[in-house]
Structure 1
Amino acid sequence: MPSSFCYKVLVCFLLTYSVQYMGFGRVELNAQEGYIFENPYQKTEKQTDVTSFTIYFNQKSSQIPKSDEVRLQSVADFLNQNRNYEIYIEAHAVDGKNYKEDILISEKRSLEVERFLLIHFVEEGQIRRLFYGNSKSPNRTKAHAALNRRVEIRLQQKN
């Protein structure tokens, strides 16, 4: 009797195991170009327009997020191939206690983006840095502070 009982339990286990895995079709994971999931709760949109975009920073940080380094690399490649274009780096901040601190933070952010581009062989004459602090911040509420911690990138042909 015990041997048939073990046999029935084994058959039941094998059937349950095989039904669980045979019931699902084969699922393939495909990566899509341009989508980066560094933060699982925030999806970075596919960027087709390299001429203008915005980089958002963490509070009091000047470190470029990894997801935006990919976009900056494509901008650097574009500028290397098109020497008749220049980049405008417009930095903003609302992280400091006063206007002077906001200017310093926005300057650090613009310097970090410039440094990234120079490392990737963009000519110094193609880069224009502007930093505003909190003087051009569209939102001054705490809820929109993350939108104000930004660097706006704009490419245009040289005059």
Structure 2
Amino acid sequence: MPLSYFNKIRLLVLLTYTVQYFLCTNQILRAEEGVIFENPYQKVEKQTDVTTFTIYFGKKSTLIPKADLTRLQTVADFLNQNRNYEVIIDAHAVEGKTNKENVIISEKRSLEVERFFLIHFVEPNQIRRLFYGNSKSPNLTKEHEALNRRVEIKLQPIN
């Protein structure tokens, strides 16, 4: 086969997160919908249940991780469409030096989640916020410290 035939069919395939790019021999870049690849180095908690889930925070952090923002948005949308439901925010912390510091950190985390819901037009009467510090932590060992830096989200009908 002539060499020009191979030049015509040669494609350079570049893969990114959601789009595949094809560079044809005539130097036109064409995009097609591709496959989303997950980060293999990140712990991902696969959850199909929207009524209860857990958000894990960094050490002494009150910032909601980006991966959990979409789950919170789903809950906010549900609460906006169902005004007879409420969200219960249970916050925990174990990284403070004293119990008082743990309560303050867990309160700030619960405030951050509440602020997210308020920004997304959830009614204040649909939000219940509780913060425990380390009083309800399942385990106080160093190995399980990351599991204790959490906020638990629960949806239930308003009584």
Structure 1-normalised TM-score? 0.77
Aligned to 1:3: none
| Residue type at the aligned position of 1:106 | S
Unaligned runs of 5+ in 1: 1-10, 22-27
**2:35 aligns with one of 25, 30, 35:** 30
Distance 1:101 1:114 in 2: 20
Which has the larger Rg? 1
The structure that is strand-richer by fraction is 2
Residue aligned with 1:80, SS:
helix
Aligned to 2:106: 106
Aligned to 1:88: 88
Structure 2-normalised TM-score? 0.77
Aligned to 1:79: 79
CA displacement at 1:29 relative to structure 2:
4.0
Q: How many residue pairs align between the two structures?
A: 132
Distance 2:34 2:77 in 1: 29
The Cα offsets for residues 121-140 of structure 1, whole Å up to 9 and x where unpaired, read as: 00000000000000000010
Aligned to 1:154: 154
The Cα RMSD (Å) is: 2.2
Aligned to 1:8: none
